[in-house]
Structure 1
Amino acid sequence: SRLLGLKSHDCHTLMQQLLPVAIRSVLEKLARYAITRLCFFFNAICAKTVDVSKLDKLEEDVVVTLCLLEKYFPPSFFDIMVHLVVHLVREVRLCGPVYFRWMYPFERYMKVLKGYVENRTRPEGCIAERYIAEEAVEFCTQHLSDVSTVGVPSSQKMGVSKPLSGCTNTEEVLPYIEQHMIHIKTAYPKFKKRTKWLQDKHNSTFIQWLRFK
């Protein structure tokens, strides 16, 4: 049977976890050995912790692995994407663990945005309207008790500070924003020059402060 509708993360998981097991009774030993080496290589560089002392060995091993693959795959298989595997270890050495930079979270969020589209002739407008509507509902529910929010579950928002663009775009609220910033600087004089800290504090306390105004 064929595997259809797989996302890039699905292929990533299949290659790292399932492919070495799936080919055990299908391919001959030497071909299986070459493919398994490649799977183990991606397992190593995609780990949450990478041992820097082993990077040189990984870089040497992946070159040997690609040479082994050349024995069993036709030349048309070796395009630029296969060649780029050689440079992945250098990228880890310069930029750190891979999971800090991969695009899987953004691909998942694109699925959410795709669900906003109801008129395929105007996809951008549908996404913009649904996003603004969801943000407005989120803002309103913060003033109501015992109401479940829409969008990302609250358990995933812990520790995340985001701008209050749903309410700060109105002229009526701007004076209150200025008053709240003055209030924060007065209450925390040691942090009045730390712009990022002030903005984070404003984002996390403005709604509660505004309720008493």
Structure 2
Amino acid sequence: MVHLPIHLVREAKLGGPVQYRWMYPFERYLRILKSYIRNLARPEGSIDEGYLAEESLTFCSRYLNNISTKFNRPARNGNESVPNGEMSIFKDSGRPKGGSDIAELSRHEFKQLGMYVLQNCEEVWPFIEEHKREIERQSSIGNERHTDDFPDWFCARIFQLSAQGHVSDDLLSLAVGPGIVTLH
């Protein structure tokens, strides 16, 4: 095992990121399939029967209301559901595991982070579509301009709607964006 790290660097350079070529998901699924074997004389039939039973139970469990199934069981790391009136981006999705490191972000990385949050919030998607349509009407350089201009446009649009009383406080907070915090 001491010799293995020498080859890992070369393999990473040749093959790229490991998640595109590792076998763990397939090996884990093969372990599940092997657990279905009850008759060693006919392993294929046992796997078929076990897989069909699992699929049938999964299908039926979607229609059971008062019984705990893997579809209505709470998540392991916290509550995955969004309380009424709360935005999906602010939901409580669990606790962090392990330690943390403090990292300083450049202005460009900070802007990318804010854009990532906006693009992954369901409540912002209609505004993203509206901004893209507005850019398409004005010019043909759409995607780069959208990425650069959207946070400022979104902030102005939300403040405009807020003046009319049509915006929640959470959406207003999201439009303002994160504050830059300096750590000493």
**Same fold at TM > 0.5:** no
- Give the structure with the larger helix fraction: 1
TM-score scaled by length of structure 2: 0.34
RCO higher in structure (CA 8 A, sep ≥6): 1
Q: TM-score, normalised by structure 1?
A: 0.30
